[in-house]
């Protein structure tokens, strides 16, 4: 039952230690991906697809090779799965960022809150007031719960170490080149589309889990389901709306609006009830609590999904 035990240990390691402090594998992947980008870059969708294919193929090959090499060595496979899960998960980091942001908003230290926001998202923080900083945080916590938690557990349960590593590589590559700016509008298309595809099912699961566990975070399950059903399509992302609308309904706040990313402005549809207030520091705290409960629920589902296959393999 090495996959099951490994994923469990990885979740616990993230909860206790957070991200690895030094030599993080994601940073190493980013360095390799940057070299491949420099070698293959052109303002072309085809060249971007080629770069994405080469980069992801390298990671997938490493994952498949490691999985096959350790599969008949239960302890080694358990530790490998635990290490991959720990490195890919970001639940503890999200909780930390949410708590720190809530503290800074409550103390009125908006300069410190603006300086912290880039840890969560690429939105330009310079002119954001307390309400907009809180909104950006809640939205980022919701979407990143899917990207950095549920997706990892989903693909780990479905495909083991190769699934975990490949998804994390695709998501990281999307964060690097999947931007709608002059350099990456064409080159980053393949990475963005692949990330959307791998997150499609997990995003819907994230929204549903947020609805189910909302009362445990002091929120409303019925409000979350209502907002999810009504508002998920108001978001420009095919996946982000499922997460953010559920958080909006669960917390009883109004999300969406005008976001500025560098020199690009994006106007998003409203999520949540029309008369709901904008988020504040307390909403950020409850959004962080919702991250924790969704993580626990997703980890439980991943273990339950893995168990039948592991029992079948162990049966003579």
Q: What is the pLDDT of residues 38-85, one digit of tens each?
A: 999 999 999 999 999 999 999 999 999 999 999 899 999 999 999 999
Task: Retrieve residue 122's tokens.
Answer: 């690429």
Q: What is the mean pLDDT of the chain?
A: 94
pLDDT at residue 121, as a whole number: 93
Task: Retrieve residue 108's tokens.
Answer: 């009125």
CA distance 46 to 48: 5
- Cβ(247)–Cβ(255) below 8 Å: yes
CA distance 167 to 316: 33
Q: Give the pLDDT confidence of 143-183 residue by residue, as tens digits.
A: 999 999 999 999 999 999 999 999 999 999 999 999 888 89
Apex CA 83: angle with CA 81 and CA 84, to 5°?
65
- Cβ(223)–Cβ(250) below 8 Å: yes
Q: Encode burial over 222-239: b for 16+ CB neighbours within 10 A, e otherwise.
A: ebbbbbbeebbebbebeb
Q: What total number of domains does the chain contain?
A: 1
271: left (phi over 0), alpha (psi -120 to 50) or beta: beta
- Cβ(266)–Cβ(257) below 8 Å: no
Domain encompassing residue 34: 2-314
- Given a cut of 80, whether residue 248 has pLDDT beyond it is yes
Q: Give the pLDDT confidence of 273-309 residue by residue, as tens digits.
A: 999 999 999 999 999 999 999 999 999 999 999 876 6
Over residues 135-140, the mean pLDDT reads 98
CA distance 129 to 65: 49
Lowest-confidence range among 12-21, 94-103, 204-213, 304-313? 304-313
pLDDT at residue 310, as a whole number: 60
């Amino acid at each position: 039952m090495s996959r099951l035990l490994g994923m469990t240990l990885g979740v616990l390691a993230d909860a206790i230690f957070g991200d690895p402090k030094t030599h993080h594998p994601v940073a190493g992947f980013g360095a390799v991906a940057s070299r491949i980008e420099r070698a293959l870059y052109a303002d072309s969708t085809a060249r971007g697809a080629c770069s994405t294919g080469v980069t992801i193929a390298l990671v997938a090959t490493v994952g498949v090779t490691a999985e096959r090499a350790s599969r008949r060595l239960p302890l080694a496979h358990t530790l490998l799965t635990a290490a991959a899960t720990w490195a890919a998960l970001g639940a503890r980091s999200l909780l930390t960022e949410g708590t720190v942001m809530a503290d800074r908003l409550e103390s009125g230290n908006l300069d410190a809150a603006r300086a912290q926001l880039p840890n969560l998202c690429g939105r330009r923080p310079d002119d954001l007031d307390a309400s907009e900083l809180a909104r950006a945080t809640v939205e980022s916590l919701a979407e990143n719960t899917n990207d950095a938690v549920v997706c990892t557990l989903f693909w780990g349960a479905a495909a083991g170490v190769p699934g975990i590593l490949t998804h994390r590589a695709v998501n990281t590559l999307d964060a690097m080149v999947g931007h709608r700016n002059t350099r990456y509008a064409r080159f980053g298309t393949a990475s963005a589309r692949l990330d959307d595809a791998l997150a499609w099912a997990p995003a819907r699961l994230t929204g549903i889990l947020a609805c189910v566990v909302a009362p445990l975070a002091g929120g409303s399950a019925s409000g979350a389901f209502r907002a999810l059903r009504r508002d998920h399509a108001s978001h420009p992302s095919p996946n982000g709306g499922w997460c953010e609308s559920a958080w909006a309904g669960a917390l009883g706040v109004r999300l969406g609006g005008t976001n500025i990313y560098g020199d690009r402005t994006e106007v998003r549809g409203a999520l949540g009830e029309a008369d709901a207030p904008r988020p504040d520091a307390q909403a950020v705290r409850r959004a962080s609590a919702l991250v924790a409960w969704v993580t626990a629920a997703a980890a439980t589902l991943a273990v339950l999904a893995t168990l039948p296959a592991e029992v079948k393999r162990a049966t003579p």
